[in-house]
Amino acid sequence: MRSAQQWLLYAPELEQRHSFTKADDGWGTKFTQITSGNGSFDAWELLARPAADSAMQVNNANNDCRRGWFDLLSNELIDMVLEHISEDSVDMMALGLTCEGFWELVSQHIHRTFLKSAAPWANTPIILQGSYATELPESMLMSPAVTKAAEGSSMRMSAARKLFWAGWSFDRPKTVTEIEDEWRSAADLHRESSRIPKDRWSQIETQLGSSYLLTKDQMWVLRNLTTKEVVSSQERTTRRGKTSTGTTFEDVLLMKTFWTTHPQYALDDDTECHPSDWAGHCFDIVTEKVHDVEAGEGWRDVTAEVEKEVEGWKKIKS
């Protein structure tokens, strides 16, 4: 009997992949485990674009705040100094904790790193590919990543399999949560030596949070940018948006981007299935307000039919 199929969720054009487990990145992980919510996949980390009105809470520096000789420099020169140490979060944090004036500048820099790192997989092709796949979705046939994978391997196998195995060497995307953790760790290193009062330190810790990027009390939608289709959440939430049946955006993406071309061996339990029609498409998650502004004509809300498809998948594999 053929061995269990392996699964890889990746963005080929970015040369990035998602790790379902801390150990072997999903190698040997059953498809049912991946789609049951037991994995570590967080669609919001990879696809959610910050709300337009999101803003970090920063204490503005007092007019009498002094930054020594830095006060003689122009803002452009100060920015150059900050840029010089920006790669080292420990040094940057040390500068920021010297006074309120520098903290205002450094906290703004932190906010920019959050914005830059948010939604790393938005608007790029995504696919959850099985190792048995011998063909690729039509939407990916002309991808530069496919050409690069084919040219980089002399093994006699299909382009789909060459791309799949190349994907195992791809890097993981760095998420906003991971960047936030780095800043928090850098701050902790200086907590004792900075002698900042407890109350003020508590405020700094709050300011180091990134949750403000996904504002509360707004409706969010998952968008298929390739087909102009939308799946809407039925509750106001900052994370884990769900439809009326409890289907999460994670459920939708994993089920609808699933791809393999051997139905008789498609799942680990030999359940027959077929490739999903969103494999290799581009996505993002935005607020309903942002979608209304950007969308234009030709968009279709497919929440109801997608809910039905995903619920059907769950029943087959339960």
**Is residue 138 located within the same domain as residue 93?**
no
pLDDT of residue 286: 92
**Is residue 182 located within the same domain as residue 158?**
no
Half-sphere exposure of 164 (CA within 13 A, CB side): 23
**Is residue 292 located within the same domain as residue 186?**
no
Global pTM reads 0.84
Domain that holds residue 97: 68-118+173-213
**Is residue 184 located within the same domain as residue 311?**
no
**Is residue 160 located within the same domain as residue 224?**
yes
Overall domain count for the chain: 2
**Is residue 202 located within the same domain as residue 307?**
no
| 60 is a domain residue | no
**Is residue 291 located within the same domain as residue 204?**
no
pLDDT tens profile 44-98:
999 999 876 665 555 554 544 555 566 677 778 877 888 888 788 999 999 899 8
**Is residue 228 located within the same domain as residue 101?**
no
Residues, the chain: 318
pLDDT tens profile 207-237:
999 888 887 678 889 999 999 999 988 755 5
Q: b/e per residue, 172-203, with b = 16+ CB within 10 A?
A: ebebbeebbeebeebbeebeeebebeeeeeee
| 59 is a domain residue | no
**Is residue 138 located within the same domain as residue 274?**
yes
pLDDT tens profile 111-156:
989 999 999 999 999 999 888 888 898 888 888 888 888 787 777 8
**Is residue 186 located within the same domain as residue 205?**
yes
